[in-house]
Amino acid sequence: MTPPRNPLLAVLALALVTGAPAPALAEHTPAVPGWQQDVHYSISASYTPAKFEIAGRETLAYWNLSPDTLSELYFHLYLNAYRPGSHMARHDAYFEDWKIDNLPSRRRGSETIDGVTLLRGDPLPVQVDDTIAGIALPSVLAPGESVIVCLAFRSVIPDVPERMGRSGKGIFAAQWFPKVCAYDRFGWHAEQHLGSEFYGDFGAYDVRITLPGSFLLAHTGTLVNGAEVLPDSIRARLEAPGDSAVTIWDRSGAAAPGDSAGRRAYELPRTWVVHADSVHDFAWACDEKWIWRRARWNGIQIYTFHRKGDSKRWYDMAGEGARMMEVLNHRFGPYPYPTFSFVEEPIGAGGVEFPNVVWITPRKSAIARRLEYLFAHELAHNWFYGMVGSNETAQAFLDEGLTSYSETAIMETLYGREGNLTIPRTPRWLYPPDDSRRTAWRSYLEFQASGIEEPVLTHSDHPSLDRGDRPLRRGDARVFRDLALPSPLRGGLLRVDEPRPGSILRLVLGRLDREDGPHGPQAPEDARRSRWN
């Protein structure tokens, strides 16, 4: 986990509300080695279903805890990748994938900054190069100093089967706001987004999301104003004791009244206020027809949000998610957040992880426990992607590989070593049992035999070949193979008590006998090509 939150964040939050000047953070002294930048986002956003558009205002407090002096800030504008001519469109076209270049205008994504100022109102110049924005600071930011910048933005969620997308009138909002690029000992990570992985600074988020009243919200973090947005009966169910899975709210049959006055009241906007701490991203989704269920484990709320058509498969999954939470807590350490949400995502991305919330596509499969398999994998991400927070773009295997190992640990603990992906059927020669360990080995051996395997540390934006799957998947089985066997690595992994990317990276690199240059694995030239690099 990250270091404890600085108590001055509470003072900053007050300053943002009252307009009082933010405190100088002289006492927030950089610690070398092991420093991390610190961020605090305050975002107020509203969603317009007719346009699939989010309009927002963002205030970012940025602490420079590095030993370096900074003269600019860089921001990701991820959604600009989903329009013709973007770096990602050109990257995909190289592999004869034209889906972005061929997107009609009504399905494209975009992310626009409408203006940037300091907290006191002084305008700041901003330069945009596709998915990266550069903001020059009026004065340098010395080690230990902080700055607060305010910006207005508009984001359109694209209609694509990616990490974000549209479903009916609702959306799955990921990478939806201007997000400051990570800065670490290698400098700024301001690579153009080519559709692969992410890397961000840990911090706090205070987010206000205004939706039509007919929508439910699933999100990173904890709801602050439940009394304002949830009926008393729903809050009573949420607060009722008991760990067993229960339905909190079934909105699958909800419909707007026929008269215009009733419809206006039904759709009257509501603002959801959410707080998240010690996370490196914030995602949310909204829908009008969800069934919301809840189970608990050790005080942690486990939520599922799904559509009625998938109730048969999803009905028991809140309880299964709670059982998986118990396994991961016992095997890999405590989950330190109060909630976790599994959200059915029909846009076709498969499974996508974010802090405290994941999307899961309800695909039918011959594998009897495919849904459990996806739940296990995406929940495990919140340990290695969520809490470790390694640089997924440069070392994707650290997240995906260790998550694959953890997913198998869950499946074997809950459903047995043999046949944990299938329900026994006869004749066995026609329906052979399968399990997560065999699947991992088979996937790796088939890929190894294909002749297109690449080094496990290949940058996620820099595959020499592309088969419709990002190269981070290439490393899964390789790392899983090493981890699954009895070895010093397996024992060492469980003894790592400094949960920083370098700790696990050094451990695994020692086993794989791979060294990199002084600046670590590098992004491809095309990904790094922007006017500031």
What is the set of domains in the chain, with CATH numbers?
Answer: 1-184 (2.60.40), 220-271+281-389 (3.30.2010.30), 418-528 (no CATH)
Residues 6+ apart with CB under 8 A from 500: 34, 388
Residues 6+ apart with CB under 8 A from 449: none
Is the pLDDT score of 509 beyond 70? no
- Rounded to an integer, what distance in angstroms lies between the CA atom of residue 323 and that of residue 119? 46
The tokens of 307 are what?
């559509």
- Rounded to an integer, what distance in angstroms lies between the CA atom of residue 110 and that of residue 445? 40
203-211 and 38-48 strand pairing: parallel
Residues 6+ apart with CB under 8 A from 206: 13, 40, 41, 42, 43, 273, 274, 275
- Rounded to an integer, what distance in angstroms lies between the CA atom of residue 267 and that of residue 48? 12
Residues 6+ apart with CB under 8 A from 233: none
pLDDT tens digit string along 444-457?
777 778 777 777 77
Is the pLDDT score of 522 beyond 60? no
pLDDT at 37: 96
Q: Are 130 and 118 in contact (CB under 8 A)?
A: no
| Amino acid identity, position 390 | S
Is the pLDDT score of 177 beyond 80? yes
pLDDT tens digit string along 47-96?
999 999 999 999 999 999 999 999 999 999 999 999 999 999 998 888 77
Order of strands across the sheet that contains 246-250 = 246-250, 291-297, 300-306, 339-344, 357-360, 351-354
| Residues flagged as binding site | 377, 381, 400
Residue given tokens 């998947």 in the structure block: 473
List, as own/partner pairs, every contact residues 486-495 make where C-beta atoms lie below 8 angstroms and the sequence separation is at least 24, other chains included: 487/511, 493/402, 494/332
pLDDT at 474: 40
> Where does the pLDDT of residue 464 fall: very low under 50, low under 70, confident under 90, or very high at 90 and above?
low
Tell me the DSSP string of 134-197: EEEEEEEE-TT-EEEEEEEEEEE---SSSSSEEETTEEEESS-S-EEPPEETTEE--PPP-SS-
Q: Are 193 and 92 in contact (CB under 8 A)?
A: no
> Where does the pLDDT of residue 195 fall: very low under 50, low under 70, confident under 90, or very high at 90 and above?
confident
Residues 6+ apart with CB under 8 A from 372: 317, 320, 411, 414, 415
| Residues flagged as binding site for Zn(2+) | 377, 381, 400
% of the chain at pLDDT higher than 90: 57
Residue 69: exposed, middle, or buried by beta-carbon count in 10 A (0-12, 13-18, 19+)? exposed
Is the pLDDT score of 224 beyond 50? yes
Q: Are 292 and 329 in contact (CB under 8 A)?
A: no
